[in-house]
Amino acid sequence: MSTPSYDQHGKASALNTDDDSSPTQARDLRQVSIAGLVQNILVPADLPAGGARVQVYYDGMKAGDEVTLRWQTMLIAANLELTLTVEADGRPLAFTIPEAVLEVGLELDATAAYSVVRGPYLYRSLEREVLIRSILVVPLTICEVLDKQGPVANGGTTTSDYVVLYGTAMPDREVEVFRGSDSLKVVTVKENGSWLWPVERGAGSSTFTATARYAGDLVSNAWTITGGSVGPGGEQGDIEEEIV
Per-domain residue ranges for the chain? Answer: 33-132, 141-243
The per-residue pLDDT for 66 is 96
At 137 the pLDDT is: 67
Contacts of 34 (CB under 8 A, 6+ apart): 42, 52, 53, 54, 55, 112, 128, 130
Q: Is the pLDDT of residue 20 over 50?
A: no
Rounded to an integer, the average pLDDT of 122-133 is 91
Fold matches, 33-132 and 141-243: yes
* Range 208-219 burial, b when 16+ CB lie within 10 A, else e: bbbbbbeeeeee
pLDDT of 8 strictly over 60:
no
Hey, which residues does 227 pair with through a beta bridge? 204
Instruction: Answer for the pair 201, 234: CB distance below 8 angstroms, yes or no.
Output: no
CATH class of the region 141-243: mainly beta
Q: What is the pTM of this model?
A: 0.51
Cα angle at 115 between 113 and 119, to 5 degrees?
175
Q: What is the pLDDT of residues 168-181, one digit of tens each?
A: 998 888 999 999 99
Asked if residue 70 has pLDDT above 70, the reply is yes
Q: Which helix (H) or strand (E) holds 238?
A: helix 236-243
Q: What is the mean pLDDT of residues 222-240?
A: 61
Domain 33-132 has CATH 2.60.40: yes
- Tell me the one-letter amino acid at 219: V
What integer pLDDT is reported at residue 135 of this predicted model?
53
